[in-house]
Structure 1
Amino acid sequence: MDTRPSLDPAIAEVRLAVRAALAGLAPGDAVVVALSGGADSLALTAAAAFEAPKLGVRAVAVTVDHGLQQGSADAAALAADRAAALGIEARVVRVDVGADGGPEASARAARYAALAAEASAIDARAVLVGHTLDDQAETVLLGLARGSGAASLQGMAPAGELTSGIALLRPLLGVRRGITRAACLAQRVEPWEDPHNADRRFARVRVREAVLPVLEAELGPGIAEALARTALQLREDAAAFDEMIHETIEDIVEHAEAGISVSVAALAANPAALRHRIIRRVVAAEFGASLTRTQTLEVARLVTDWSGQGPIDLPGCRVRRAGGRLEFTAS
């Protein structure tokens, strides 16, 4: 009879998720694990400390001290100490947070820039962050509130590119927040409670503490999982659309003297959803600008409801109908 103690289910679930994320790495590769000290990132770090050596991968925990609250340096040092106790190399990086885009966006930009710099310094292939299924559900609800279409409901991708040659991986995107807390408890590592996570000035905190609990109470359990599934399905749809758009653009876009031109007949032959995405993609790719829905619809009217109206000024460019083509030129 096997008398070995059984592995706690929460620890097993987190380790399995991290093992899958590291599967694409080779012996000798390195990864950075983003460690805030909270339960999610601490459980992630513990799992990486266990799984990475088995694959011959070097894992380094990096804690970013944003300096936005009293005692932040002590909290960062404590997180690094806990990582070291788990058997993983640990570093602390202090960053200056600007004011562009609000405190949340500025802190996030500074954090990811620091993580990318640390990853480059150790020639890491990837950075692992601890976003959970609950974070995904909150992101989808916040996107729904913005009302900016399917793109804002896709949530966070399990894998993407942080910077050239360095992947951004979210191994715990299918793991509930309660599981990460249980994993920390089972391993007797105490997470740090960030005061900002209880500050209701932030929309995400209000979603976490008020909106999602009400939805669960009124509509029944499983709301977070349903929102996460929605994000995944929309990401799959978006990938299919992207492939269709890429193929279509190759056929209908031509370079013009001062920009590019697009066939009106070809645009008109496509469904509205695809037509609008083509218009936005053309402007983004050629002129580096993003169009609002109102601007997109105004351009689309040059295709579907043209009565001789003149050029339209857009961010970074101007578009006009000339015969059977839309001409986009730099403004």
Structure 2
Amino acid sequence: MKKYTDQGKKDTRSGYGAGMTVLGRTNPKVVALCADLVGSLKIQEFINENPERFFQVGIAEANMMGIAAGLTIGGYIPFTGTFANFSTGRVYDQIRQSIAYSHKNVKICASHAGITLGEDGATHQILEDIGLMKMLPGMTVINPCDFNQTKAATIAIAEHEGPVYLRFGRPAVPNFTPADQNFEIGKALLLNEGTDVTIVATGHLVWQSLIAAENLENQGISAEVINIHTIKPLDEEAIINSVKKTGAIVTAEEHNYFGGLGESVARTLTTRYPVPQEFIATQDTFGESGTPAQLMEKYGLNDKAIERAVFKVTKRKSVY
């Protein structure tokens, strides 16, 4: 099994800020908008270097989406920034009508996603955003796994023509992907080859899946681990090729199991190559206040939960 090294824990939102700094220096069409959360989005360096390309809209997220849509008409590439709950649920009508329907080149960048937002509680821990965004026609949905990948994704989406939803988080998590990586939208990454089960993960659950795979290897189970950083468009070929070898799959995400990565994978398998599947996700519930680690444990979003799902799904292979 390939070993991955934690290069030092960093928050993925800082990866977004680092990517914006690069874009500020290399792409004069990129502009940033923020809904009174500059510190949380880590874009102060971009602002310092490009004050004329920054728009502080205040706590007016719906207006921010409309302004961003308008800026694209002038040839700009607007990056909007606020918490994931406010980037999607609060402004869904504006995104649908002014951005998605019109296929505007807006990059909707959402911090503090998922249950690892932690102590702010259920009102801020959106667990439905991937589902909301992936159902919009023409919307690309990206959920990177660490600081380096978030930075690379931020830079890459500036070159993509069309609306993008980029999701990232608040807590410091292991940073283990290459600093110089080439981020290819829609292309899954095979992190570990295996023969007994496929683990398909996104976001914070990628590192947890690698831990689980290492533990499973010590128990005689060979797990293939795939990083699905782009949920839409989904790399269906990578998934199908893997399950043809392993015959079973576990999907892992920090999102409600309704509407998330797991459902997209299930649709792919149902129509092309059915195999047993287990879902690591929140089970149709809101979150609550607590530390990220406490919440990931309680809601079954960690390496131990992935291991249990693997044991369950591999037993189903013989009767499927």
Structure with the bigger RCO (C-alpha within 8 Å, sep 6+) is 2
TM-score, with normalisation over the residues of structure 2? 0.32
TM-score, with normalisation over the residues of structure 1? 0.31
